[in-house]
Copies of this chain bind each other. A is one copy, B any other.
Amino acid sequence: MGNDSLVLLARLLGLVIAVVVVYWFLLLKSTFAPRKGFTYTTIHALLMVIGFILVSGEAILIHRWLPGSKKTKKAVHLLLQGVALLSALIGMWTKFHYESGIFSNFYSLHSWMGLLSVSLFAAQWVTGFLSFWHRGQVRETRTTLLPWHVFLGLYIYGLAIATAETGILVKLTHLQTKRNLPRRCAEAVVLNGVGLGLVLLCALVIASAVLPKSGNEKIVYSSQDRPNVWLLDFSFFFFSF
C-alpha cells in the first residue's frame, strides 16, 4: 500500500472517530453524568480524544500531504500541536474540579500516564519551537536533535492513545459496577469501538509518518556483503535544513 493511501485512511478514520465520540457525547447520556447535566468532567473525553489525540495526529500527518512551502508546513504543524497542547491542558484541568479535588487524580494509572504524556508533550512542543521554528540553533544541533524529536513525538502520540484506552476502560468498568450498565449494550459497543479505532489510528498515523513513500525506497549499498540501508524516510522533516 502506498504511503498516500495510508495518510488518507488515517485522516478518514480520525474523522469517523470524531463523529462517533460526538454522537456518544450527545446521545448516550449515561456516560456523561446525566444527573448533573453538563459538567467539567463531561467535556474531558471530548477534549482528550478530539482536541488532543486527533488534532495531534493531524499535525503529525501535515508534513505528508499539505502542499506549499516548508515554512507553511512547519507553521501549521506547530499551530496544530499548540491547539492539541491547549486541549490537553484544559482537559486535565476539568478533572481538577472533580468531587475529590486535585489529589484524587494521583492514585490511578490512567492519571499518571496522562500526566506523563501531557508533560512530555509540553516539553516536546517547547523544544520543537526553540530548535526548529525559532531557528536560533545551528544546523548541526538541529540535525542531532531531529531523530529524538521524531521518536519522542511518535512515542508521546502512542502513550496518549494508551492513556485513552485506560480511560475508556475505567469509564466502562465504573458504569458496569456502579450503575449496573449491562456488559452487552450500545454504549459498551460504542466505547470499545472508539478504543479499537484509536489502536488502528495509532498504527496508521505512525506508519504514514515513518514508512518510506512508494517508489522512494532509497537504498545505499556500502559493500556487497553488508549493505547499509536506511529504510525509514524522515527527509520530510528536514524542510528547513
Show the binding face of A for B, using Cβ within 8 Å. Answer: 107-110, 112-113, 116, 143-144, 146-148, 150-151, 155, 158-159, 161-162, 165-166, 168-170, 172-174, 177-178, 183-184, 188, 191-192, 195-196, 199, 202-203, 206-207, 210-212, 217-220, 226-235, 237-239, 241
Contact = CB atoms under 8 A, between A and B. Distances in A.
Given A169-B166, A203-B155, A207-B151, A235 B239 contact: no
Contacts of A191: 109
Contact of A231 (B146, B155, B159, B206): B146
Q: Is the contact region of chain A dominated by helix, strand, or loop, or is it mixed?
A: helix
How many of these chains are in the complex? 2
Given A212-B147, A232-B230, A169 B168 contact: no
A109 B158 CA distance: 17
A206 B151 CA distance: 9
Contacts of A218: 228, 230
B107 A188 contact: yes
Contacts of A151: 206-207, 210-211
B161 A196 contact: no
Contacts of A161: 162
Given A162-B199, A170-B173, 17 more contacts: A107-B192, A109-B172, A112-B192, A113-B165, A116-B196, A147-B217, A147-B231, A151-B211, A155-B207, A158-B158, A162-B162, A226-B235, A229-B235, A230-B230, A230-B231, A230-B233, A230-B234
A211 B232 CA distance: 11
B234 A232 contact: yes
Contact of A217 (B144, B212, B229): B144
15 contacts: A110-B169, A143-B219, A143-B229, A147-B231, A148-B211, A151-B206, A151-B207, A155-B202, A162-B165, A165-B166, A169-B170, A227-B241, A228-B235, A229-B241, A231-B232
